[in-house]
Amino acid sequence: MKRRNFIKNASLTGVGIAVGSSLAGCNEPAKKENESEVAINKSNSAYIPVVIATWNVKQSTSKAWETIQNGGSALDAVEQGCRVEEADEKGQSVGKGGLPDREGHVTLDACVMNQHGDCGAVVYLKDITHAVSVARKVMEETPHVMLAGDGAKQFALSQGFQPENLLTEASKTAWEKWKIEAKYKPIINIENHDTIGMLAIDSKGDISGACTTSGLAYKMAGRVGDSPIIGSGLYVDNEIGACVATGLGEEVVKTVGSFLVVELMRQGKTPQQACEEAIGRIVNKPNSNYKDFQVGYIALNKKGETGYFAIHEGFTMTKYQDGVNEQLQSDFFNKA
Ligand code: SD4
């Protein structure tokens, strides 16, 4: 939908819009005077519905957008969007085809959080492609918020999920090659695509989020990252906004990153300012070796304004808003 039509429709349907004019992200290059409004609206506009996701995942945001357009909730949207990446065997950091731990096992972490503050997560899940949907089932069908390992798998099977071998030939070959030197060094910006974290505001204005990953390649067996940890990899507060993280999970957990971003927005920061401050908490630690790892945050607030920031160059956010599905390059801390 073109912006003008959207505004017209919004005023007819009562969908609220509030175009953010004073909220230009720091990642915006300087604009000529007559360009500024358009540019700001493009990058930091405040329309709903909106879908944002970590990395370059236009097919996923497209699926999420379509889900909302068909009357789905924000939770439906983020689940459906994440499933696209989970099913894509070519993506070696999510779902089927994910790179394994150092023993050759693909283990998945995922979580969801909805507008009521309910959440569900699975950690160290094996043999089930759609970890995000299992996480949703944990939220909806159990009295718990998190299931791990064999218990998570048994639960998934009991809910009708089919077991599959997640280690594709390509990932097996990569693992065998890695074993020759067996050096564990998380790579910054793997294939310009990584863990998928997705946030959405639906047509009613409700916010939900999801995050799904195979975690860091060649991690120790049993390792769990930030992605399924509510408050670290993902946090949603329907009054305020939401945030999701990607990158070196250990560093995100140590600063409870996504909760921090939402709390900073509660204190009045824009999503952009909040993401930047949360990255600051990581890089400004006296002993931080941030040059060796990446962390990126994306966030949105209740109005539909968005923000995104990373430690290093190369992080991207995909945003579907106002009928436009686009990949946006993130600003970053390490300019040296
Ligand atoms: C993790 N945050 O397991 C995830 C993986 C990731 O870049 O995003 N890697 O730590």
User: C-alpha distances in angstroms, 266 versus 39, 230, 296, 305, 328?
Assistant: 26, 17, 20, 14, 25
Question: In angstroms, what is the span from residue 239 Cα to ligand 1's centroid?
Answer: 27
What phi and psi values does residue 326 have, to the nearest 5 degrees? -140, 150
- The residues spanned by each domain of the chain are 1-46, 47-332
Please name the residue whose Cα sits nearest to atom 9 of ligand 1: 247
Is 289 within 8 Å of 273 (Cβ atoms)?
Answer: no
Interval between CA 215 and ligand 1 midpoint (Å): 5
| Predicted confidence (pLDDT) per residue in 239-290, tens digit | 999 999 999 999 999 999 999 999 999 999 999 999 999 999 999 999 999 9
Residue 19 Cα to ligand 1 middle (Å): 33
CA distances from 289 to 187, 225, 249, 286, 294 (A): 14, 18, 14, 9, 10
40, 30 in Cβ contact below 8 A? no
- pLDDT computed for residue 40 by the predictor: 30
What pLDDT shows up at residue 28?
Answer: 36
Q: Kindly report which listed range (15-19, 227-231, 233-237, 258-262) carries the lowest average pLDDT score.
A: 15-19
* Residue 225 CB less than 6 A away from ligand 1: yes
Q: What is the pLDDT of residues 175-195, one digit of tens each?
A: 888 888 877 776 665 544 467
Which residue type, as a one-letter code, is found at position 39?
A: A
* Inter-helix orientation angle 74-87/131-141, to 10°: 150
Highest mean pLDDT: which range of 31-35, 184-188, 233-237: 233-237
Q: Is the CB of 246 under 6 A from ligand 1?
A: yes
* Structure confidence by residue, pLDDT tens digits, 292-316: 999 999 999 999 999 999 999 999 9
pLDDT at 46: 77
Cβ neighbours of residue 263 closer than 8 Å, sequence gap 6 or more: none
- Mean pLDDT, rounded, of the chain: 85
Whether domain 47-332 has CATH 3.40.50.1820: the reply is no
- Does 120 have pLDDT greater than 90? yes
Mean pLDDT of the region 48-60: 96
Separation between Cα atoms, residue 177 and residue 250, nearest integer Å: 25
- Written as one string, the DSSP assignment of 18-84 is ---SS---TTSPP--GGGHHHHHHHHH---SSEEEEESS-HHHHHHHHHHHHTT--HHHHHHHHHHH
At residue 188, the pLDDT reads 62
Which ligand 1 atom lies nearest to the CA of residue 225? Answer: 3
- In this prediction, residue 29 carries a pLDDT of 35
Query: DSSP secondary structure string, 129-145?
Result: S-HHHHHHHHHHHSS-S
**180 or 79, which is more confident:** 79
What mean pLDDT do residues 2-16 have?
A: 32
The tokens of 258 are what? 């996504």
Ligand 1 site, residue 231, Cβ cutoff 6 A: no
Element containing residue 264 per DSSP (H, E) = helix 257-266
Contact 128, 153 (CB under 8 A): yes
Q: pLDDT for 208-224, tens place per residue?
A: 999 999 998 899 999 99
Residue nearest (by alpha carbon) to ligand 1 atom 10: 249
Residue to probe by mutation, ligand 1, list 101, 185, 216, most atoms within 8 Å of CB: 216
Residue written as tokens 């990642």?
A: 27
Q: Which position among 195, 255, 306, 318 bears the catalytic label? A: 195
What is the pLDDT, as a whole number, of residue 25?
35
Q: Give the atom of ligand 1 at the shortest distance from the alpha carbon of 224.
A: 3
pTM of this structure: 0.86
Catalytic status, residue 195:
yes
Assess contact for 27 and 43: CB atoms under 8 A. Answer: yes
Q: What percent of the chain has pLDDT over 90?
A: 71
Residue 31 has pLDDT above 60, yes or no: no
Name the residue with tokens 């949603």: 236
Residue 151's φ and ψ, nearest 5 degrees, are -60, -40
